[in-house]
Structure 1
Amino acid sequence: MLRCDLATTIQLFHAFGYPGLAPEGRRPFLDKLIEIVERNSGVLPDFNAMVLKSVLKAGRALASLDFIEGYPPNLFIDEFSTFFQGRIAIFKNFAHIFDMEKIVRERLLKAPLTSNGKPVTNFRFADSKDEPGLQISDVIVGVMGKMHTYFTNTGPEEVAADRAALVGPSLENAQLLSGMISASHAEKYCIPPSCCQCA
């Protein structure tokens, strides 16, 4: 529903300092969200839209909205070390080479990660100039970011038409990217079972 009119959503979030609403902004923020739900209710099944609207209305009576109140306004992320920690923890059997981020590196060294009481040592930081893999990953992340933006801002019919129009190198690159994503997914989840070197 929010993606149906991203400009309105962005304006709303900015106006109320999301995700750091002031207590006096709670009800007006929820009122505006309810307006968006009512305006775009056709994108969800009727029952789902009704439940969502009811939850937002009930939120107006709460004493606080704990996850979006009391934080600095308009600040989604203040630092990125948790993302690095998450990758290290989720992919604990992988060797991680991170682009040098001095602040993140310092935070990880101040509070070392452990697994079953043992230090986690499957990561290091490097200068991307010295690591071709980091240079390639920067390009891939850039492509994935553009792809995410495209899918967020483009309707399903237009995506299908654009996909059908791909030919030559464009089609081959899309297929290669799809194959890379599938291979990464299979590696993460060990699918099929025959790939279980990551156990």
Structure 2
Amino acid sequence: MIIAIILAILVIVAIFKKGIPTLHAHWNTLIDEFDYSTKDFYEKLTEELKSHGIEKIRITSKLISTGNAMSRKRLYLRVSWKNYTYDCCLAPYGKGTFISWWMYSKKTGFELLVSKIPFVGGYLVRAFFPVTYYTVDTSSMFMTYAQSSVVKVIDDITKEKGVRSLTEADKKPIMRDIFNR
């Protein structure tokens, strides 16, 4: 009886627990001899992201630690949609400006719980949480939407300031296999 209660509690906790993020893609670039306000960039990026009319997008500013709990925090722009999170950073670096983003997806607590079942967890995850065309497409849509917004804002700013714009090679994200189990 006690084992059943403990198991029920674990299942309930797993269902409501936030998932563990898995890196899907990232991107970065350094624009030499360029200085721009982080907050101004985030305002322009927020405006650009909202202009696409995507429903249920959440855009917030987030202070993220640069190291341990006692370290400095850096301001990021966090864009969330479904179980995807996109963190964008603009920061001065030497005489230039560094821009990066990281895209994560989150597995649900229940999926993580199922995956831990000895011997059959992997099979059950593939059976009950399959990677579908829809899953791959929505991930790609969100990443493309966010990346094109960042690149457009950078292009607008560099054009306005008379600075060299990014090359096509500079604009390509680095992909990870998000769906590898």
If the length of structure 2 is used for normalisation, what is the TM-score?
Answer: 0.25
Q: Which has the higher helix share?
A: 1
Q: Which has the higher strand share?
A: 2
If the length of structure 1 is used for normalisation, what is the TM-score?
Answer: 0.24
